[in-house]
Every structure is written in structure tokens, then in C-alpha cells.
């Protein structure tokens, strides 16, 4: 089971995106777990649950470089969710991006 974790300020709108992504993963029987968390809990969540991909909500895009420096050396890729996809709650496009990142990681 691959873990794709989304982080944003409060986690409210990101929870909606995560649930759409999880619905699609379930529908296509993909072994992917999608969850959303507040960025303030990132260090604890990463340490306890070991995600395979970290996706940042557009509102915490400013944390991208810092997050990337911290977690990519541990083998956890970090990306920022596209603002338009996020605004449209386009779970399919965001899930496809996460899957692409997972595939690149596996190569």
C-alpha cells in the first residue's frame, strides 16, 4: 500500500481533495492510501506513518523548498498540488500526478 499524504494549513479543503482521490483509488482498486493533514503536524505524521509521497496544498507552497530539503533525502518525493486542480477539487488529475511521482521514484 502506497501512502500519498496531503498537507495544507487547516486540512479542511485538502480533506475534500484527499477523499476524492481515495474514492478514485478504491474505484480502480489501486493500492493507495490518501490522507490529508495540517502542515503543522507534518514532522510527526512523516515520522510515524512514513508516506511515500508528500503533496503540499497551494496555500503552503512557500514550504516546498524546506520540505523538499528535509524529506527527499529520506526518499520521500515532495510536490505542490496545481492550484487549478486543487480549486476544482480534481481528485483524478492530482491522483494521476501522485502515481506519476510514485512510478518515477520506483525507477
Q: Which of 27, 74, 76, 30 is nearest to 56 (CA)?
A: 76
Instruction: Average the pLDDT over 68-77 and give the result.
Output: 97
8 catalytically annotated: yes
pLDDT at 10 (0 to 100): 77
Rounded Cα distance between 25 and 19, Å, is 10
Rounded to 5°, the CA angle 73-14-105 comes to 30
Complete DSSP assignment for 6-18: EEESSSHHHHHHH
Domain containing 55 — which CATH number? Answer: 3.40.50.2300
For residue 76, the enclosing domain spans: 2-106
Set 8, 21, 42, 53: catalytic member: 8
Contacts of 26 (CB under 8 A, 6+ apart): none
pTM: 0.96
What's the domain count of the chain? 1
Rounded Cα distance between 42 and 107, Å, is 26
Percentage, residues of the chain above pLDDT 90: 93
Q: How confident is the model at residue 11 (pLDDT cuts 50, 70, 90)?
A: low
Q: Which of 52, 21, 49, 16 is nearest to 34 (CA)?
A: 21
Amino acid at each position: 500500500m502506497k501512502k500519498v499524504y496531503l498537507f495544507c494549513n487547516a486540512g479542511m479543503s485538502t480533506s475534500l481533495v484527499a477523499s476524492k482521490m481515495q474514492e478514485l483509488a478504491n474505484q480502480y482498486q489501486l493500492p493507495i492510501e490518501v490522507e490529508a493533514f495540517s502542515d503543522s503536524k507534518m514532522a510527526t505524521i512523516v515520522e510515524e506513518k512514513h508516506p511515500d509521497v508528500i503533496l503540499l496544498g497551494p496555500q503552503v507552497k512557500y514550504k516546498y523548498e524546506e520540505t523538499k530539503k528535509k524529506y527527499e533525502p529520506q526518499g520521500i518525493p515532495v510536490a505542490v498540488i496545481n492550484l487549478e486542480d486543487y480549486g476544482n477539487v480534481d481528485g483524478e488529475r492530482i491522483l494521476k500526478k501522485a502515481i506519476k511521482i510514485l512510478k518515477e521514484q520506483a525507477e
